[in-house]
Amino acid sequence: MNPNNTLYIVVPCYKEQEVLPETSKRLKEKVLQLRAQGKISDKSRIMFVNDGSSDNTWPIISQLHAQEPEIFSGVNLSRNRGHQNALLAGLMTAVNYADMIVSMDADLQDDINAVDGMVDAYHEGFEVVYGVRSKRDTDTFFKRFTAEGFYKVMKALGVDIVFNHADYRLMSRRAVEGLAQFKEVNLFLRGIVPQIGYKWTTVTYERAERFAGESKYPLKKMLAFAADGITSFSVKPIRLVLSLGVVIFLVSLVMLLYALIAKIMGSTTAGWTSLMGSIWLIGGVQLLSLGVIGEYIGKIYNETKQRPRFIIESVLNK
């Protein structure tokens, strides 16, 4: 078993006053159980990140810490920055103390008992353990359809993500330090974590319904999240413009030929040939040029993200 076994459970919270009392109770039981089993150290903590909530979330977290500082920690963001940023803030704070970090939502939708399997996998030498939903019975048809469609579109666009995995995962300290090298502002953790590499595995769990309160991800936020994910990882939409440009340009040549033949056959009104020709030709050339410019913008975009070009896992050199 790995002697470096301090676990931090990072939980981003936005207006979660209804669920926090229950979540903290259950997480505490889990941490005490894992400590008793000797799987995690006594320095392990549950770290709640308050994402600028306007309700009682932070007072509740402060109180938990005041009562049991050896179990609960808190991070308070200066304002609401969104789930992904709150999670990153928690990870970057916890990495200073932890050997492994589990991230999960506050609403108890992620089965807490899956943490056992994640910690076991960590002790077996895995550095990233993805929590994967086995089924989505509790989601509405709409949520299931849009969410699963999202994974499929991402895959089709060549983005490397784990199917049906949200942000419930364990990462070793080394993996989180790798994550810290990704400096991009448009954060889409689900896409970045697989880029870090290292030995990884999955743990399946059943996703429950939200314990209390309502989803903080309405359709609008979900769409924005999906668009962010796609545009942060894929230049395929740009390629699509380029391909379209090529196709239209080729069609324009055919149309040009057709217009010319029609003119020679004498079955056209005056001006039709030149109009037809120029509309198609100009449309094609414009799309083609946009696609070419897009290619360069895509390159600039990738450069500005300054992603690490490699992360070394180990070196043999004596």
- Nearest CB to ligand UDP, comparing residues 134 and 302: 134
Contact window for ligand UDP (CB under 6 A) among 104-112, 170-178, 180-188, 227-235: 104-112
Residue 194, token pair as written in the block: 């697989």
Q: In this structure, are residues 130 and 200 in contact, taking their beta carbons and an 8 Å threshold?
A: yes
Residue 69 Cα distances to 28, 73, 175, 267, 268, angstroms: 12, 7, 26, 89, 86
Which ranges of the chain does DSSP label H, i.e. alpha helix?
20-36, 57-67, 83-94, 114-123, 141-156, 173-179, 189-196, 219-233, 236-264, 272-305
The item of Mg ion, ligand UDP, none sharing an interface with residue 182, based on CB under 5 to 8 Å by kind, is none
Q: Which does 164 bind (CB under 5 to 8 A by kind): ligand UDP, Mg ion, none?
A: none
> Interface with ligand UDP includes 14 (CB under 6 A)?
yes
Q: What tokens appear for 100 in the block?
A: 């492994």
13 binds ligand UDP (CB under 6 A): yes
127 binds ligand UDP (CB under 6 A): no
What order of strands is seen across the sheet that includes strand 72-76? 72-76, 45-50, 7-13, 100-103, 165-172, 128-133, 200-205
Applying CB under 6 A, the span of 11-19, 37-45, 124-132, 264-272 interacting with ligand UDP comes to 11-19
Q: Does 111 bind ligand UDP (CB under 6 A)?
A: no
Measured between alpha carbons, how far is 179 from 92 in angstroms, rounded to an integer? Answer: 9
Q: Is the distance from CB of 58 to CB of 138 less than 8 angstroms?
A: no
Q: Is 98 in the site for ligand UDP (CB under 6 A)?
A: no
Return d(Cα 31, Cα 202) in angstroms, integer.
Answer: 21
Angle between helices 20-36 and 57-67 (to 10 degrees): 30
Q: Choose from ligand UDP, Mg ion, none: what does 106 bind? Cβ within 5-8 Å by kind.
A: ligand UDP
**Least distance to Mg ion, CB of residue 217, Å:** 7
Identify which of residues 18 and 127 has a Cβ nearer to ligand UDP in the complex. Answer: 18
User: Which residues would be at the binding site for Mg ion (CB under 5 A)?
Assistant: 105, 107, 109
Pick one of 108, 216, 235, 248: the residue that binds ligand UDP (CB under 6 A).
Answer: 216
Among 82, 90, 191, 284, binds ligand UDP (CB under 6 A): 82
Would you say 39 or 81 has its CB closer to ligand UDP? Answer: 81
* 31, 86, 112, 118: residue in contact with ligand UDP (rule CB under 6 A): 86
Residue 83 binds ligand UDP (CB under 6 A):
yes
Asked if 101 and 173 touch (Cβ cutoff 8 Å), the reply is yes
Q: Which of 222, 202, 203, 231 is nearest to 144 (CA)?
A: 222
Summarize as ranges the residues that interact with ligand UDP (CB under 6 A): 12-14, 16, 51, 80, 82-83, 86, 105-107, 109, 215-217
